[in-house]
Amino acid sequence: MSLITNVMDHSLDDGYAEAAARRQSEGEGGLPKTLRAKLGLAAGLVLAALVVTVGAAQARVAAPVVAKERQELIDRIDRETSDADKLENDVDKLRDDVGARQRAALKQSGGSADADLAGILSGATAVHGPGVKLVVNDAKEASTGGDGTNPRETSGFSDTGRVRDRDMQRVVNGLWASGAEAVSVNGQRLTGLSAIRAAGDAILVDNKPLVPPYTVLAVGDGERLSTRFQNSADGLYLHALEENFAIRATISTESDVRLPSAPSVIVRTAQPNAEKTEKGTS
């Protein structure tokens, strides 16, 4: 009990005060006593101030240069972006021109009915009619990372709540298999040459990046198309994504959906079978 009583009666501040008084009486104060020590301390302070001053001066000198270089880089990016936009507009105009010429050539060679059918099936002609509207979107709170036990993550999925290119591939293929006659994704008309793939986290349709939500329009018998798709393996796959990963999807029948034509459908290798063509026209 004596130790506890001693601690309670004598605080630690008294011990610090005794040590300070003892050092001061022995000539060990915090400030230097000799002239040499004082000069050394003054020199150190002057040197520190000089270093700080020089650093500040250099920063002030370099700041305008860095700001100028940054602005030049921003201006260059803006110019290049503007040039790229102009080139993309030129490409779109040329694609439209090519598509128009192709449709005109089809009408001249195969008759109007055959040309219209070929244009619809190839995606070269804008179409409208009853169908379905399917909207697929990422989860509200898409999770990231994981311990490698999730099959979506182990297959390259960095975010289990994100819609991926293979998900959209299955959705589109399921609609085709369920009776869709024409399909578009976010306004991009799909053709027999279309590709849905990924570039990083972005989904590309014919090399054009899309952003969620992904709106898929399909022309066909609306009620039948919706029922067959939801009961198909691909429709059940989409439902599993909703249940397991909170990916959002809604499907509705529409009385009239309108799909644009594909920018261009260029075939460089395939040729029609001449013998069958001649028999069909004879």
Could you give the count of Cα atoms lying within 13 Å of 236 in the half-sphere of its Cβ?
3
* Residue bearing tokens 């021109």: 97
Tokens encoding 35:
């002239």
Buried b (16+ CB within 10 A) or exposed e, 178-212: bebbbbbbbebbbbeebebeeeeeebbbbeeebee
Residues of the chain with pLDDT under 70: 1-17, 19-21, 23-33, 35, 61-63, 99, 102-103, 106-124, 142-160, 264-268, 270, 272-282
For residue 184, the model assigns a pLDDT of 93
For residue 247, the model assigns a pLDDT of 92
- The side-by-side arrangement of strands in the sheet containing 208-210 is 196-199, 202-205, 208-210
Q: How much is the pTM?
A: 0.57
Tokens encoding 228:
């067959």
For residue 26, the model assigns a pLDDT of 58
Q: Are 164 and 157 in contact, with CB atoms under 8 Å apart? A: yes
Best CA proximity match to 259, nearest among 208, 204, 212, 220: 220
For residue 40, the model assigns a pLDDT of 77
Q: Are 259 and 133 in contact, with CB atoms under 8 Å apart? A: no
For residue 4, the model assigns a pLDDT of 61
Q: Which residues are bridge partners to 197 per DSSP? A: 204
By DSSP bridging, strand 127-137 and strand 248-259 are antiparallel
